[in-house]
Amino acid sequence: MKPAFELAEVIERFGNSYSESFKPNTYVQRVLNAIKLCRTSALGGHVDCCEECGHIRISYNSCRNRHCPKCQNTQREAWIADRNQQLLPVNYFHVVFTVPDKLNRLFLLNPPVRYNLLFRSAWDTMAQFFLTKLQAESGMTAVLHTWGQNLSLHPHLHCIVPGGGISVTGNWKQVNISKNGKVYLFPVEQLSAVFRGKFMERLQLQMPVDPNLKRELYKNNWVVYTKEPFAGPEAIVEYLGRYSHKVAISNHRILGIVNKGVSYRWLDYRDNKQKIMHLEGREFLRRFSQHILPKGFVRIRYFGILSSTRKNNLQQLQLTLGMIIKETGSRDWKEICRTRLNYDPDLCPHCGKGKMITLKSIDRTRNRITIISGDSVFHCSESHFHAISIFLFRLVPHQNFKERVYNFR
């Protein structure tokens, strides 16, 4: 279902006031602009027509920016297909590493360096636990989220960790199975303490940390939880897919856009209740822009036996463990729509039978279209094109697609 409100609209309405007040850098401006223009005529597109019933559809190109709430579906599905290649037939755990809000200021001072530190410390912690508790080497897939539910800054990593590792002799070693048959990874309190230690140690090499702040930081738990949420290997990638291509706010959470600002839904984890937040437009955009990652920053990373340099070892391990490796499906977006999103972009949405044929592409700079129908010539803007073309199709009887007399320029 199409959401009632979109982030693009917020940017359209409040983008200027945000830029004047907060003076974002040109990269942030560019990202906001891309989201604003996503799937509008400004990005170009194409006109398709149904072979059977003559239904006309105009589609505009998407911005494909990784911060755009409209552009993540096919990317996520392609990513999931790739992940299926890396699976092992073992238990997996979801571990969340987070840092206290008191560090937000230091994160904003130098985002890429701090986010790297977060990744590094989390993996070092994991690797150390596997080594000391299991005498094995394992891996981890980590996804960076920088936001909390209400759009504030809340850097944390969602990590998926296999419940075992490879021993020095090359065998797979499973983590403990407790008396009640439950598999658990490592005790959360211990993980938390080690992670905090590693993070703070490195942070102090980067910059001096105020002793009072340091004391405060040691009061919190830095690992939120580790749980084993999965029914089977395929369920793991589906599960991780929920986190991998999220953006700071989805369009469905925006409840209203008025002159004064924006209201949106958020989940308050303190009492687990859905609440509504109202923000001035430029403040909403300021919060959203905090989550625009530095250009080129890698926000999904693979460690240990899952890192790309270890691909051959991983395949060997999959064979040893009896995993049947499936072929990756096609990464063509149309194929992804058909196989994973239950939607065939080539099929007419009107009659459900005919094939959609592209009649014309609209380039991004032109905003006038010429329609030639028999002896008549129509000029129209793209916004009127849809209405005019429907009118024409009704007016001129047509037997089949090939006899149509329309010509688009």
Q: CB of 115 within 8 A of CB of 144?
A: yes
Per-residue contact flags (x/-) with Zn ion for residues 290 to 319, judged by CB under 5 A: ------------------------------
Q: Write down the least CB distance from residue 407 to Zn ion, Å.
A: 20
- Residue 266's alpha-carbon distances to 103, 174, 285, 312, in angstroms, are 23, 38, 16, 43
Q: Write down the least CB distance from residue 149 to Zn ion, Å.
A: 22
User: Which residue stretch of 6-14, 218-226, 234-242, 352-360 sits at the interface with Zn ion (rule: CB under 5 A)?
Assistant: 352-360
**Single residue of 265, 350, 355, 398 touching Zn ion by CB under 5 A:** 350
Q: CB of 147 within 8 A of CB of 248?
A: yes
**What is the widest separation between alpha-carbon atoms in the chain?**
84
According to the binding rule CB under 5 A, does residue 355 interact with Zn ion?
no
Is the CB of 9 or the CB of 137 nearer to Zn ion? 9
According to the binding rule CB under 5 A, does residue 357 interact with Zn ion?
no
According to the binding rule CB under 5 A, does residue 50 interact with Zn ion?
yes
Give the separation between CA 59 and CA 293, rounded to whole angstroms: 29
How many residues sit in the footprint of Zn ion (CB under 5 A)? 14
User: Which residue stretch of 4-12, 166-174, 179-187, 345-353 sits at the interface with Zn ion (rule: CB under 5 A)?
Assistant: 345-353
Q: Write down the least CB distance from residue 15 to Zn ion, Å.
A: 15
According to the binding rule CB under 5 A, does residue 351 interact with Zn ion?
yes
Give the separation between CA 255 and CA 276, rounded to whole angstroms: 8
Both tokens assigned to 19: 């830029």
Is the CB of 50 or the CB of 236 nearer to Zn ion? 50
Q: Write down the least CB distance from residue 57 to Zn ion, Å.
A: 10
According to the binding rule CB under 5 A, does residue 62 interact with Zn ion?
yes
Task: Say whether 103 sits in a helix, a strand or coil.
Answer: helix
Is the CB of 63 or the CB of 254 nearer to Zn ion? 63
Give the separation between CA 186 and CA 164, rounded to whole angstroms: 11
Q: Write down the least CB distance from residue 10 to Zn ion, Å.
A: 14
Give the separation between CA 193 and CA 186, rounded to whole angstroms: 12
User: Which residue stretch of 58-66, 289-297, 305-313, 395-403 sits at the interface with Zn ion (rule: CB under 5 A)?
Assistant: 58-66
**Single residue of 15, 164, 304, 354 touching Zn ion by CB under 5 A:** 354
What is the spatial order of strands in the sheet that 136-137 belongs to? Answer: 136-137, 164-167, 172-174
Number of Cα atoms under 13 Å in the Cβ half of residue 252: 4
Is the CB of 120 or the CB of 338 nearer to Zn ion? 338
According to the binding rule CB under 5 A, does residue 55 interact with Zn ion?
yes
Alpha helix positions (H), 110-165: 111-134
Residues in 68-107 that interact with Zn ion by CB under 5 A: 68, 70-71
Could you tell me which residues come within 8 angstroms of residue 91 by beta carbon, excluding any fewer than 6 positions away?
Answer: 162, 163, 164, 174, 175, 183, 228, 230
According to the binding rule CB under 5 A, does residue 249 interact with Zn ion?
no
Is the CB of 6 or the CB of 283 nearer to Zn ion? 6
Query: CB atoms < 10 A from the CB of 265, how many?
Result: 16
**Single residue of 12, 52, 101, 124 touching Zn ion by CB under 5 A:** 52
Q: Which residue has the tokens 């999959």?
A: 318
Interface residues with Zn ion (CB under 5 A)?
Answer: 38, 50, 52-53, 55, 62-63, 68, 70-71, 348, 350-351, 354
